[in-house]
Chain A
Amino acid sequence: MKKFASVILALAFMLSLSVPVFAAGPGEKIEVGFTYEVSEPKYTVEIPARIELDVKEWVAFPITVSGGATETLNGRKIAITLEDAAVGNIKSYFPDGVEPGASAAYDDFFVVSNADAPNGFYKTLRYHIIHEISMIPSSIGRLERGFTFFEFTEDGTKSLWFVLTYGALDSEDNLVPFYASKIYPNSQYSGWIVFGVKIVD
C-alpha cells in the first residue's frame, strides 16, 4: 500500500511538472511573441568605387542594377540619385597666383583634390557629371541633392560620364582644362560621391 501510494505520488509530481509553463488562469495575461522574417537584400546596385578622371577624355562609369530587381520591382522603378559629393568653391579651383574672375564666387562645385600638390599647382580640380551622353558637359556642374540620374525598370546597366571642366582647345583641337600645365603630374586627385538608391512608383 505504501509502495502504491508512493508511486501515485511520484506520478502526480511528474504530471505537475509537465503542465505547460505558459498556461494561464482566469484574468492572467499571456505574452504572445512577434515573429517576423529577417529582411535580406532584394537586389544589388553597383556604383563606381572612386572618381578617377582623365585630363582630356570623358570617363564613363557604369551603374548596374541586378539580382532579380525585375521581380522585386513589380512595375515600380529603382531610382539612382545624387545625394552628396566632395565639393569646393570656384576660388579653390585656381592655382596659387592666379586670380579667378570677378563673377567666380560659386560654391558646391564637384571637385577632386590633391593635398600633396605643391604651390603653383592645382590642389583641386572641378568636374562635371553627364548622365546622358547627348547633353552638354555643363549639364550637372554643381551639387543638386536629390537629382535623379537614372530610373531602372529592370536589371541593367547605364553609364555616368565624368569630365574635368573644360577651358580651351589645344593645338589638336582637344578640349583641355584651364592651365592644364598646372595639374600636378603623376599624382592622384580624388573625390567622392554618395548615390541615393530607392524604389519609386
Chain B
Amino acid sequence: MESITLKARHVIIIAAVLIAAIGVGAYFIFFHNPADISDNNPSVGGIVFKLDESAKEYTGREPENKGGTSGIKIPGYDTVRLPSGTTDVKMILLNPEGNPCYFVFELVINGERYYKSDFVEPSMCIEDLKLTKPLPKGTHTAILKISTYSLDESLSQMNGANVEFELIVV
C-alpha cells in the first residue's frame, strides 16, 4: 500500500512538473517576443522613434495654405507670450495636415534648449509644454527648431526649418 501511495505521489509530481514546463514553453512560444520591447520604441539609424503622448488632434483654425502637395508646411509665429516662474506653459506646436513627415520640435532661447518633443504626426499638435526649466522674464528671440522625418520605417531625415519669433515672458 505504501509503495502504491509513493507511486501515486511521484506521478502527481511528475505530472505537475510536465504541465508547468509545457505552460512556460507555450508562453515563450506564443506570447513572449523580445522584439516587443523594441517595438515600443524602435530605433532606426540611431533615432529612437516615440510618438509624443501629449500630442492631440488640432482643432483650431489652420492658416490657409495655398502651396502644393509635395512640400512640407511649416507653421510660422509672430509674437508669443508665455508666463515666467513655471515649467508648464501653453503654446500650439502644430504639424499641419497633409505633411509627408513627422515633426520633432525644440524650443531654443539664447542658445539654450527649453523643450523638446517626441515625434508628432501630421494633423496633430502639442499644446501643453513641459519645459526643462522656467523661462527668463523679458523679451527674447526664440527659435522653434523643426526636424522632420519620413513617415515610413526608414525615418529618413527630410528638410527642416528653424522658425524665429519674438517671445515675451512676463
Which one of B47-55, B89-97, B110-118 is at the interface?
A: B89-97
Find residues 64-112 in chain B having any chain A CB closer than 8 Å to their own CB: 64-68, 70-83, 90-92, 94, 96, 100-101
Query: Is A192 interfacial (CB-CB < 8 Å)?
Result: yes
| Separation of A31 and B80 alpha carbons in the complex (Å) | 24
Q: Does B60 contact A (CB under 8 A)?
A: yes
SS of B interface (majority) = strand
CB contacts (< 8 Å) of A40 on chain B: these are 60-61, 92, 94
Interface of A is mostly: strand
Docked CA distance A67–B96 (Å): 12
CB distance from A152 to the nearest CB of B (A): 10
Q: Collect the chain A residues with CB atoms within 8 Å of residue B156's CB.
A: 190
A196 CA to B76 CA, complexed, in Å: 11
Contact with A along B148-168 (1 / 0, CB 8 A): 100000001111111111000
How near does chain B come to A68, taking the closest CB pair, in angstroms? Answer: 6
Give A46 to B163 CA distance when docked, in angstroms.
Answer: 12
Give A46 to B148 CA distance when docked, in angstroms: 13
- Chain A interface residues toward B at CB < 8 A: 34, 36-51, 61-62, 64, 66-69, 72, 78, 83, 155, 157, 190, 192-199
